[in-house]
A and B are shown apart, each in its own frame.
Chain A
């Protein structure tokens, strides 16, 4: 390459943060001494931004008019045509006949044997609910999935679209023991060579940990008709060279579910074949340890081999796909490594009395080491002095040109937020199970309720999804409320606090939601009607997550 072109390449390397510490120092010396060189750098940044402008304009131009606004004319012509077809064909359907009879837009719970002492949640101010989750969690996108239920093909007025949590991806080295931590805190520990395939294994994980995740995905916790109480659910898949793979025969792995407050189940390992029409089966294989172990509060996590805990962070290597996240208190630190970019990186940090006393970086990637070390040095010098402060940081390697230097990418957060984050990172109570199966795995216990069981029958005037939650225990039952069709929840204990959530997707506001809270009581025959209220996805999630508080 010509010298001029080599200089362009050097400028690119600087902009992309790819120079080593010494190279960067030399480069910055030149910037100070040579105004022309500085101008060349500014020009190169401007050109790159100019290229980006061109690309963005093309993208914007391509999407222009495809939004709802752009579809307006399409509907002006299409809607009358659809209405004609609807009247020509639709009048014969059972659904339309039903609709003529029932005109109300209300949800009507009808109980076979018992009726309810109701306490409606109508009027709940969802805007002022406390923010329970921190940013990395509230931002978890849910995506629509195909509804593959076996419901009868009734014409649906509402849109019974299912939402799913984001699938998280990790890469592990199959030749050694590996540990990964999901966004909601589930820790998976794999033994060396326990998975079929090569050394590099991709793990895809879905955590159904938050109540909103379970409700919006419509997951049930039943085993052959019996209600079970969940201590945490995941769906885990493994891939080797892009092909789905399995555990080797007689090989197990360990799953640590952070315990929810009030959840004291003595769980066992359950597994299931499909997320739709879930039927959990207990894993009775003698190779796995039953029942699941529970780490109680106050116990130090270092007692469990492989788990991180205060003062014992050696070998800690939770990997996240997109970010490298660093959080610490005066006692401990955790670094989440960008596993896609740095699949082999291992970071261990120990903080004693507010000082980083030990930092071990094990990575074949020179750039990773350089950036992290440079950062840690700065961090130690400037920030550690501030005792009692906690920080959360996001390191973005992708676009240093747009973000400035590494240090600018770290933002100080307030103590309360840091405490919440550290709480989620440092849960000291786990339900730990072993599993011989990938796929759907649940730490469960049969809900042992010695009361008379009844069936609850619901009828709704609109199509919607129904979820029934037990207030005092983590039991979830899913059903579909097709308009004017009775839907049954069976084997519900009397005198049990239950929460019914009915929802459907709405064009205007993401969701239309109806939430009712009852106590099943044989002697009370009141009937409660509640209207659906509009909620954004975020409001809906927050409402559900705080519903059992």
Chain B
């Protein structure tokens, strides 16, 4: 699959094949993390996070990729590795083959993502059914009528009401978490 095809697959919602293809870059990232003193689990988490960051970048309609996807992912992982190690005061620089603007952008997307991680934590407190409804609607773009059918709710209207109740619950938890942070 070419780089353009991978990008197109991600943008058009057919992410499975694209992620599968991108996992071919994982060994290089794993080697980097292990070399920096991280564990295999750590490498896996960082790579997953890098894929999410790439997804966020490609979501932007005016996105510009100045490097190959491999270089980009490697750089994101390197940045995250640096961020972790910086917290432990081990490393001082992340030198990557990216344009400065792209480096800044990675740092900015990464920072923004931290906020969404908190929201993710809030969502963990929801029941399975609630979470499923929210994922179907907001992530997979499933229509309310279809959600009602899948979740055995009597109508799309009831499903919609249920969705907002779930969202409200998650929001309350999110506000609590935000206040304590």
A residues contacting B by CB (< 8 A) are: 1, 4-5, 8-9, 40, 43-44, 46-70, 138-139, 141, 322, 394, 396, 399, 402-403, 408-409, 411, 510, 536-538
Contact = CB atoms under 8 A, between A and B. Distances in A.
A41 to B, nearest CB: 11
Contacts of A59: 15-16, 19
A64 B134 CA distance: 24
Nearest to B157: A1
Contact of B21 (A57, A67, A409): A67
A141 B61 CA distance: 19
14 contacts: A43-B119, A46-B118, A50-B170, A50-B174, A53-B113, A55-B140, A60-B19, A63-B19, A64-B19, A65-B23, A69-B27, A139-B4, A141-B5, A399-B59
A67 B119 CA distance: 30
Contacts of A394: 61
Nearest to B18: A63
B105 interface: no
B150 interface: no
Given A8-B168, A54-B139, 15 more contacts: A8-B164, A50-B120, A50-B170, A51-B134, A51-B135, A52-B116, A52-B138, A53-B116, A54-B123, A57-B48, A59-B19, A66-B23, A67-B22, A69-B24, A411-B62
B168 to A, nearest CB: 6
A403 B56 CA distance: 10
A5 B168 contact: yes
A44 B61 contact: no
A67 B23 contact: yes
B117 A53 contact: yes
Contacts of B175: 43
Interface in B82-116: 113, 115-116
Q: Which of B62, B113, B122 has the most CB of A within 10 A?
A: B62
B51 A56 contact: yes
Nearest to B23: A67
A224 to B, nearest CB: 38
Dominant secondary structure at the A interface:
helix
Interface of B: 2, 4-5, 8, 12, 15-16, 19-24, 26-27, 44, 48, 51-52, 55-56, 59-62, 113, 115-120, 122-123, 131, 134-135, 138-140, 161, 164-165, 167-168, 170-171, 174-175, 178
Q: Which of A58, A64, A394 has the most CB of B within 10 A?
A: A64
Contacts of A47: 119, 122-123, 167, 170-171, 174
A46 B115 contact: yes
A64 B44 contact: yes
B123 A50 contact: yes
A141 B55 CA distance: 20
A55 B167 contact: no
B8 A49 contact: no
B62 A408 contact: yes
B164 A5 contact: yes
B161 A67 contact: no
A402 B52 contact: no
Nearest to A62: B16
B60 A67 contact: no
A543 to B, nearest CB: 14
A408 B117 CA distance: 26
